Amino acid sequence: MSKIQDRLAALGVVLDAPAPPVAAYAPVVIHGGLAYVSGQLPREGGQLVKGRVGRDLTADAAAHAARLCAIAVLAVLRQALDDDLDRVAGCLQLNGFVAADDGFEAHSAVINGASQLMVDVFGAAGAHARAAIGVATLPFGVPVEVSAVFAVEAR
């Protein structure tokens, strides 16, 4: 097993087969030593997590959904890297979008669910620049969406 696979196993994280894109985009684009991962949605038990933060989901439940997004990010990245997440030199940037009710202000706490997973998986190399952005709606009624940029080593 690889170093990253060992960490994922220790965390109890299983990377299922990624969901296929639902529009005209690539899940991951690798260029110049960088891997740009398109926004991923939260899935649990094969189903999308839905709802609006502050109305249908608490900040803690939404942070769990953000963690699920981060797991999906790693799943599509692993696929793009031919099952070799040990090629990841670091998570450089993570962007999170939170569909929340008016007055909700804990967007950063929600997206920390994704950020913490990156640090847990990659250690110091998982520390990243980040944006946590509140939005009116997200695709399919999900509460969060997460995209990321990684430094990757050539084979």
Distance, in Å, from the CA atom of 114 to the CA atom of 145, rounded to the nearest integer, reads: 10
**Radius of gyration over every alpha carbon of the chain, rounded to an integer in angstroms:** 15
* pLDDT tens string 84-119: 999 999 999 999 999 999 999 999 999 999 999 999
pLDDT of residue 1: 62
pLDDT mean over 121-126: 97
The DSSP secondary-structure symbol of 22 reads S
Distance, in Å, from the CA atom of 61 to the CA atom of 49, rounded to the nearest integer, reads: 10
Question: Could you tell me the domains of the chain?
Answer: 3-8+28-152 (3.30.1330.40)
pLDDT of residue 15: 96
* pLDDT tens string 31-51: 999 999 999 999 999 999 999
**Residue 10: how many other CB atoms lie within 10 Å:** 10
Whether this model's pTM surpasses 0.85: yes
